[in-house]
A and B are shown apart, each in its own frame.
Chain A
Amino acid sequence: MYSTDLRTDKEKKSADQQILDDAELWDTFQARIDNGDTIEAKDAMPEKYRQTLTRQISQHAHSEIIGQLPEGNWVTRAPTLKRKLILLAKIQDEAGHGLYLYSAAETLGRSRDDMVADLLSGKAKYSTIFNYPTPTWADIGTIGWLVDGAAIVNQIPLCRCSYGPYARAMVRVCKEESFHQRQGYEIVTTLARGSAEQKAMAQDSLNRFWWPSLMMFGPSDSASTHSSQNMKWNIKRHSNDELRQRFIDATIPQAEFLGLTIPDPDLKWNEERGSYDHGDIDWDEFWAVIKDGGICGKDRIQARRAAAKDGVWVRAAAEAYAAKQSAKEQVA
């Protein structure tokens, strides 16, 4: 998901053409990677590596920031004070994850303002999952359980990726992510053990979020063209399908435990592989959501634009205060 390049072929091609790297640097760099070295901010690196990571880390940061919005939808309507406090803490974590990641991306030379401007202009991409609506409270549970669960599967290998600042941010994120998944599963558990109506609500939410959650891992290996270089550079350690399978195998018993049904009639245990076989994923839907923003894309960007606009006076006040303080210090 976060490691998936969501740009169109045209966008990729035009970006690639601007890169001039000398072959010698590629070789010495590759030797460092093969040696298991961690690359740090000031180290020499191929421009392509820098660009790939800047794109990936900023896209990951945008996803965390946009990811607050579907959940923010339920803060004022959380069923109890306890759930409300938990949800607020989780959303604050997501903001924090975004900021850790912007920090990591900045070490590669791109300014945060530029990255945020790309998000607000609609140029930057983010994970498609956050463009699905959250019409019921059960969705808050399902998001924690499935979306954060998928994020954990995706992010754990990134803790060992070759770029130090990204890897360290991921360690921090992964520690916090486990609370997110557990609180989500707890919400779903409560609903699944409640009235028939509540259980139906949990099932309906699972029905809507199951396939989009699987899409978070990105296109199938047979269709993913950019994986191999990222694998060589140790930015990516497992293929999309491999991680998706890991998530499916871990999640199905959790659904069964609650008596919920995974909305995939083709799902069955494959004794030989020791894994579940699953039905076809609707990749047309995935690419359509990337292209036109799906159900909520416009709302998400508008919400971020409004937040940026509404925060202008706060930033202006902070700047004025700092200017005044430093003027005072100079007098004294």
Chain B
Amino acid sequence: MSLEVSLRSRVGAFDLQAQFIAGPGITALFGHSGAGKTTILKMIAGLARPDTGRIVAGGRVLLDRAEGIDLPSHQRRVGMVFQDARLFPHMTVRRNLTYGRWAGKRKASVDFDRIADLLGIDGLLERYPAGLSGGEKQRVAIGRALLSDPDLLLMDEPLASLDNARKREILPYLEEIRDVTGLPIVYVSHEMDEVARLADTLVVLSEGAVLGAGDAIEMFSRLDFGPALGRHEASSLLVGTVADRAPNSGLQTIMLDGAAALTVVNSKLQQGERVRMRIKARDVALSLNRPGGISFRNILPAIVQQIALEDSPYVEVLLETGGQALRARITRQAHDELGIREGLSLFALIKTVAIGQRTLSERR
């Protein structure tokens, strides 16, 4: 099951042009506000119409302007989770959840109790939306979309209206849904944290155009997006397996794919679990020799792959360590003094405290 999107639309001076393929797992549409993310989602859902374009979901043509095909929203089988939940205020949570069945005549192919249990909303069923917290509302909205038996799921910044505590409450549910349902999920966000944690595929948008699309880990390691991925937020994603827990130290070791070991602050993750870590480029330091007498716990041998000189006091360096990409953001002065050049072997230093609970996420 995959989703092919190809759209073009001009509204006033804004020219939107987007083309990407979303496979199983989460495809994140990332970009600053005004990049056209939500508009693309609405066009996939059938709530907005592009000038030209074609949208195919699992072989089913939802839209083909050239062929004159434009299925109305209610025939598209596209579940949508809106930023503001949009629960029906005059119905109980249960009636909201089952709306797709009793009003939309959708099949009951997903088990109600399982979804309610999965989202932790089985205790709210007889309540009305006005009495729910923001996080609860959003979970009900996700459940409502899932229970409408969709072929794919669209999420329009579902966490944007929530505070940080509520965001952390919802994120595991999103991961659970990704793993359990196997539905393609298109997830719109301008939060690097969420994207780093959730995205399998990443589509980077800027001013209505796709700057790049592809595997999230590869996309994160590309230096050519510049400000579109955020200078201060620039980071790389490392993948590994949770190894043993060092007793009493409060630390845990993660074996990176490619054999290097990484020490992180103790997480709740179990031994053997696959994890993804987000390492911010500005948390990585470089050293020509293996340093001693230093507080950095993580010292990884690396080779310089690519250097991006910016029109600023900073330099972005792309490294390869054990087959994985790692970005470092250093000053131009350090770059000059160390004589950093492509192919150079050196050591990347990462502070253990920079890899906390929030930068770790469980993967299948």
B partners with A: no
Interface residues in chain B, defined as those with a beta carbon under 8 Å from any beta carbon in chain A = none
Interface residues in chain A, defined as those with a beta carbon under 8 Å from any beta carbon in chain B = none
